[in-house]
Structure 1
Amino acid sequence: MCKNQCYYRDTMEKCTVEMGPKTDPELMALRKEIEELYQKLQEAQKKQEDTTIEKACESVGAAPKVKLICRKVMKGHLNKVNSVHYSGDNRHCVTGSLDGKLIIWDTYTGNKMQIIPLRSAWVMSVAFAPSGNFVACGGMDNMCTVYDLNNRDANGVAKMVRELAGYDGFLSSCRFLDDKTIMTGSGDMKICKWDLERGVKTSDFQAHNGDVVSISLSPDNNSYVTGSVDKTCRLWDMREEKPKQTFFGHEADVNSVCFHPSGYGFATGSEDKSARLFDIRSDQQIALYKPPGANSGFTSCGLSLSGRILLCGSDDNNVHMWDTLKVQHNGTLSGHENRVTSLSVASNGVAIATCSWDNSVRVWG
């Protein structure tokens, strides 16, 4: 189960009571019509497929086994750690935990640089600005809170500079474009873009037919991709409020999305126990990655600097890795004692940070 699935289930049960029984004939007919349209779209896409990624890469040698070692085990949180994100300096990262704290870590030394107490302990997403000047977080408080790491209050704690309210659901994801702009996704199915200097929304629109769970920015920051519990992913132009493309294939919640470094595709990790690679130019899925065990649902995903290695955090307590071109399982990072909830790849590709319900944060390199 994904970290929010209990919440999702309760929400859906409430909606069922409010909207009427699931067996409503009109509703069932509409669902059937949508499924048929999805099937036709997938069939049309399949007809355009002239090869598979495995066949196209037959002459390519297999990637050597990735030998990442756990360099640091960073302990300090007193409860489940739900999210981790690297700073643009490739050295510091921020983590958010159900203990009601954000911690800024120096991943080189494993030391805590700052501890930020939160008004709400139910944090689900954190983000580090590329500049390293700001961090943001949010969750079940239906709010995105931004802190300035360079300014401290009378207690020596990073000063809160913005509380971005106005959501009708939990905050599931947030990413800084720069120090002045942040994107957020939430349980009310919306994407919002915020001007942090003025503290106002510059965009606010429904993005999916279910909770928006994950956002990933393109390398040039001109577009982004979203994943949702409606089982789809969508590609967006930063200037528009309508999706450029919608991608189908997953059979359950898309818990995580990650843009490919080339900018021509993206990877996903899903509750359906699969990871996938989608190609933007061909408008479809081009690879399916399965773990060795049949019981590994994926909570998070990331790609190496070259895009050759896909990493997915799993609820089996491990991080699974694949050779994206040969579609082969490449190895497993073991060490966490509970589900891996989030992972973040340093932008220079040197290391990855993972966090878990075992209250710890690990740095691999």
Structure 2
Amino acid sequence: MGPKSDPETLALRSELEELYKTIQEAQQKCADVTMDSACNEVASITPIKFLTKKLMKGHLNKVNSVHYSGDGRHCVTGSLDGKLIIWDTYTGNKVQIIPLRSAWVMSVAFAPSGNFVACGGMDNMCTIYDLNNRDGSGVAKMARELAGYDGFLSSCRFLDDKRIITGSGDMKICQWDLETGRKTSDVVAHNGDVVSISLSTDFNSFVTGSVDKSCMLWDVRDMQPKQTFFGHAADVNSVCFHPNGYAFATGSEDKTARLFDIRADQQIAQYSPPSGKSGFTSCGLSLSGRIILCGSDDNNVHMWDTLKTTHTGTLSGHENRVTSVSVSPTGMAITTCSWDQNVRVWG
């Protein structure tokens, strides 16, 4: 009998499920109004027609992750072809191609300054590249290899050029000092793989999503969890902090996207695709927070009005699962990547 099926573990798991239910019932008693009814008087938004402004080809295998630089112009993508590509999204041109030691890339991150990119995956490592420091062949030099994980690297985000936060398959959140290459925090965060990290606009807080179906709010300054959010019925594949700093969006394997309010300490809205059959791999919010966008395994990006909870459109063009969505910090464009090996800029 395995450790997961012994009577004591099963009893504890059952007790935990009951506690979750009790918490959710208590939350629902406090939920005196729904998002739909509260926003009855709010005017509906005019559906926005997004078009593919740039179709960026260059990867030779599935593209798993995309992230914008702070300038809103450049982005980095990581693919199973063992390459990172830095793109100029205005022209669609490649700025740099960085060959990796491991092809199993699951996550990429661009430093807000645009000076560094990070990546990691099944190599159980987070690798940092300095884009301003190139070797003889013109390729960005590796600045750091952050090792010491007992699981794959699923997510990473720069706080600045000297600090990065990582989430991994060993259920941990770590903060690293990039000048010394040492961990400054190492916390068991969830009861399953940490799969997504999103930073608040002031960089003082971040949210994590996990395969344990929950999300957690953290304070960067002490790296301690402040709140836990339940509701999803399957893996939370993606989290995105709301620009106002008081809420965050999620995309899940349970075929829903949701909006959680930090002050209300609970879910305040739920969004479902028209077909009801699409699991969500990634999510993003517009600069105003009025539109939520979710990349899906039905090859599309779905959009909803966050206040009215109505489905407002679909971005169609990719020919396979959309793996990652990144909204430009300027709010002017969205970049998506897919298992179809392509990267698209929408505007």
- 2:242 aligned with 1:266, yes or no? no
The residue matched to 1:344 in structure 2 has which SS?
strand
Please report how far the alpha carbon of residue 240 of structure 1 lies from its aligned counterpart in structure 2 after TM superposition. 2.3
Show the counterpart of 1:5.
none
Q: 2:131 aligns with which of 146, 149, 156?
A: 149
Q: Which moved more, 1:236-245 or 1:274-283?
A: 236-245
Corresponding residue of 1:39: 21
Post-superposition Cα deviations, 1:58-85, rounded to whole Å, max 9, x if no partner, equal 0001111021110000000000000000
SS in 1 for 2:16: helix
How far 1:260 moved relative to its partner? 0.2
Between the two proteins, the alignment pairs up a number of residues equal to 347
Match of 1:81 in 2: 63
Q: Which residue of 294, 298, 308 corresponds with 1:312?
A: 294
Q: Secondary structure at the match of 1:46?
A: helix
**How big is the shift at 1:155?**
1.7
1:38 is paired with a residue whose SS is helix
- The answer (yes or no) to whether the contact 2:303–2:312 under 8 Å persists in 1 is yes
1:97-149 deviations in whole A, cap 9, x for unaligned? Answer: 00000000010111001000000000000000011010000000000000000
Q: SS of the counterpart of 1:27?
A: helix
| CA displacement 1:259-304 (0-9 Å, x = unmatched) | 0000000000000000000000000000000000121000000000
Q: Is 1:90 the equivalent of 2:72? A: yes
Partner of 1:353: 335
Render the CA deviation track for 1:219-255: whole Å, top value 9, x for unaligned. 1111100000000000011122431000000000000
Q: 2:95 matched to which residue of 1?
A: 113
The Cα shift of 1:349 comes to 0.5
Structure 2 residue identity aligned to 1:142: N
After TM superposition, give the deviation of residue 166 of structure 1 in Å: 0.5
Residue from 200, 208, 216 that aligns with 1:226: 208
Give secondary structure in 2 for the equivalent of 1:362: strand
Alignment counterpart, residue 310 of structure 2, candidates 328, 339, 346:
328
Q: Name the residue aligned to 1:281.
A: 263
Deviation for aligned residue 1:93: 0.4
Equivalent position of 1:10 in the other structure: none
Identical residues among aligned pairs (%): 79
Counterpart-to-counterpart distance in 2, 1:278 and 1:57: 16
Counterpart position of 1:208: 190
Partners of 2:110 and 2:201 lie apart in 1 by 16
Match of 1:170 in 2: 152
Q: What is the aligned partner in structure 1 of residue 235 from structure 2?
A: 253
Q: CA deviation at 1:21?
A: 6.5
**Which stretches in structure 1 are left out of the alignment for 5+ residues?**
1-18
Q: What letter is aligned with 2:37?
A: K
**1:185 aligns to 2:167 (yes or no):** yes
Q: Equivalent residue of 2:118, what SS?
A: strand
Q: Equivalent residue of 2:299, what SS?
A: coil
Whether the aligned pair in 1 keeps the contact of 2:3 and 2:9 (CA below 8 Å) is no
Supply the distance in 1 between the matched residues of 2:167 and 2:8 (Cα, whole angstroms): 30
Gap runs ≥5 in structure 2: none
Q: Is the 8 A contact 2:256 2:271 kept in 1?
A: yes
Structure 1 residue ranges (4+ consecutive) displaced by more than 3 angstroms after TM superposition: none
Instruction: Supply the AA of the counterpart residue of 2:112.
Output: P
> What amino acid is the match of 1:207?
A
1:158 lines up with 2:137 in the alignment? no
Q: Once the two structures are superposed, what CA deviation does each residue of 1:148-206 show, in whole Å capped at 9, x if it has no partner?
A: 00111122110001000000000000000111111000000000101111111111110
CA distance in 2, matches of 1:116, 1:302: 26
Structure 2 CA distance for partners of 1:57 and 1:92, relative to 1, 3 Å: same
Task: Give a deviation string over 1:2-50, Cα, whole Å, max 9, x none.
Answer: xxxxxxxxxxxxxxxxx71654222211111000000000000011111
Q: Is 2:274 the counterpart of 1:292? A: yes
Whole-angstrom distance in 1 between the partners of 2:20 and 2:101: 43
Give the TM-score normalised by the residue count of structure 1. Answer: 0.94
Q: In the alignment, is the contact (CA less than 8 A) between 2:68 and 2:327 conserved in 1?
A: yes
TM-score (norm 2): 0.99
Q: 2:172 corresponds to which letter in structure 1? A: K
Aligned partner of residue 244 in structure 1, secondary structure: strand
CA distance in 1, matches of 2:343, 2:5: 45
Q: Structure 1 residues 255 and 157 mapped into 2: Cα distance closer, same or farther (>3 Å)?
A: same
Q: What is the match of residue 341 of structure 1?
A: 323
TM-align CA RMSD: 0.9
